[in-house]
Amino acid sequence: MSTTRTPKVSERVAPKPADPQPGKKKRDDDDGPDFRTLLHAWLESHRASMADSLRRLGKQPIGSFFTCLVMAVALSMPMGLSLLLKNVEKLGGSWQRAAQISLYLKLDAGSKEGEALRDEIKRMPGVADALYVSRDQALEEFQQQSGLGEALRELPENPLPGVVVVTPSEVDKPALEALRQRLSELPKVEVAQLDLVWVERLAAILKLGDRFVFGLAVMLISALLLVIGNTIRLHIENRRTEIEVIKLVGGTDSYVRRPFLYMGALYGLGAGFLAWGILAFGLNWLNQAVVGLSGLYGSDFALGGVPASDGLSLLIGAVLLGYIGAWIAVARHLNELAPR
């Protein structure tokens, strides 16, 4: 006959003693991890995402290189045209030289009066420089350039006036016209001449070049965003199952997006370095022909290289474009990556 044993009181499990400081434990649980732990976790997540992006790009070196090369060509074309425009502007002379104002003095104005007038004009606002050409100098230059030296020697007196050549500090049509008007009212000035037509033509040519470069840059940047967006889209499709599992176990959108953003930035960085190299090589290759041509005209003109500031701007712009293109591509497809 079996008997049921009744447990003694001393054998029962006693309740856990109460926490002597229950309020402190509750506050610690509510506070969660401290800032240092969160920062370390955030940095570690970014490091892992970047390492994963580098590893995946390294698995496809040829494809990654050609993607960067296409982006580099799109980046180098507008930058190269902009650098060529700057060099052409230096070749044609500065804006100030193109907008010089010639003051033809009266025939009775002597050299001392011309030099005094030159010094007075230099102190005027809106004037960068002034050069006085005496009557004898003007006659000598005219004889050399016209080839009429023998005929001019037969003249009883020098028919050419002294000239003060004024270089303005800014090139603006209303300001130039106002300056010409002020200069024409100076004593001993017979005629103040400004070739505004040439200034307008030069401004129109350079403005046309700037607009062309801007339009080309907009089109090529749009094409670049499409290229990087399509490339990131292919990476997303290849990892669709992995991403769905990550979201299924609670992965956030930012966690899913981060590796692709790093991948886009890395594509942009590689494209920036390639574009810098293409520009440096292209300008150096073109400079050989330019130096030979300018030497035939007795000039020492040569194309400048890629300035370090422009190169750094190119790198930063390429990284930003890669990042933006990746962000757009991921944003478009992120809703489609929900677990089914």
- Output the tens digit of pLDDT for each of the chain's 340 residues: 444 444 443 444 444 444 545 544 444 445 567 778 877 777 887 788 788 888 888 888 888 898 889 889 888 888 888 888 777 766 655 455 567 888 888 888 888 888 888 888 888 888 888 888 887 787 777 766 665 656 566 666 777 788 888 888 777 778 888 888 888 888 888 888 887 677 677 778 878 888 888 888 888 888 888 888 888 888 888 888 877 787 788 777 778 788 888 988 999 999 999 999 999 998 888 888 888 877 776 667 778 778 888 889 999 999 999 999 889 888 877 766 655 5
Q: Are residues 112 and 85 in the same domain?
A: no
Rounded Cα–Cα distance for residues 266 and 67 (Å): 11
How many residues belong to the chain? 340
Q: Are residues 89 and 105 in the same domain?
A: no
Task: Give the β-pairing of 101-105 and 189-194.
Answer: antiparallel
Rounded Cα–Cα distance for residues 99 and 167 (Å): 7
pLDDT of residue 26: 44
Q: Are residues 280 and 156 in the same domain?
A: no
Q: Are the C-beta atoms of 176 and 168 separated by less than 8 Å? A: yes
Q: Are the C-beta atoms of 229 and 330 separated by less than 8 Å? A: no
| Residue where a domain terminates, one of 194, 229, 260 | 194
Q: Are residues 114 and 170 in the same domain?
A: yes
On whether the pTM is more than 0.85, the answer is no
Q: Are residues 230 and 326 in the same domain?
A: yes
Q: Are residues 211 and 297 in the same domain?
A: yes
DSSP codes, 3-29 = -PPPPPGGGSPPPPPPPSSHHHHHHHH
Q: Are residues 209 and 300 in the same domain?
A: yes
DSSP codes, 128-183 = EEEEEE-HHHHHHHHHHHHS-HHHHHTSSS--PPPEEEEEESS--HHHHHHHHHHH
pLDDT of residue 154: 63
Q: Are residues 258 and 307 in the same domain?
A: yes
298: DSSP letter: T
Q: Are residues 254 and 206 in the same domain?
A: yes
Longest CA span, the chain: 160
Residue 189 is part of which domain span?
100-194
Burial tier of 271 (Cβ tally within 10 Å: 0-12, 13-18, 19+): buried
pLDDT of residue 105: 87
Angle 336-337-339 from CA coordinates, rounded to 5° = 115
Q: Are residues 189 and 113 in the same domain?
A: yes
pLDDT of residue 217: 87
User: Which one, of 301, 86, 317, lies nearest residue 209 by Cα?
Assistant: 86
Paired tokens of 37 = 């732990």
Half-sphere exposure of 63 (CA within 13 A, CB side): 11
Which residues are CB-contacts of 54 (< 8 A; sequence separation ≥ 6)? 266
Can you give the three-state secondary structure of 217-254, one letter per residue?
Answer: HHHHHHHHHHHHHHHHHHHHHHCHHHHHHHHHCCCCHH
Q: What is the CATH number of the domain that holds 128?
A: 3.30.70.3040
Q: Are residues 82 and 105 in the same domain?
A: no
pLDDT of residue 134: 85
Look at residue 232 and tell me if it is in a domain. yes
Q: Are the C-beta atoms of 260 and 118 separated by less than 8 Å? A: no
Rounded Cα–Cα distance for residues 249 and 337 (Å): 13
Number of domain units in the chain: 2
| Residue where a domain terminates, one of 141, 159, 194 | 194
User: Which one, of 100, 114, 121, lies nearest residue 167 by Cα?
Assistant: 100
Q: Are residues 156 and 85 in the same domain?
A: no
In order of 3, 134, 263, 267, the CA distances from 323 in angstroms are 78, 63, 8, 9
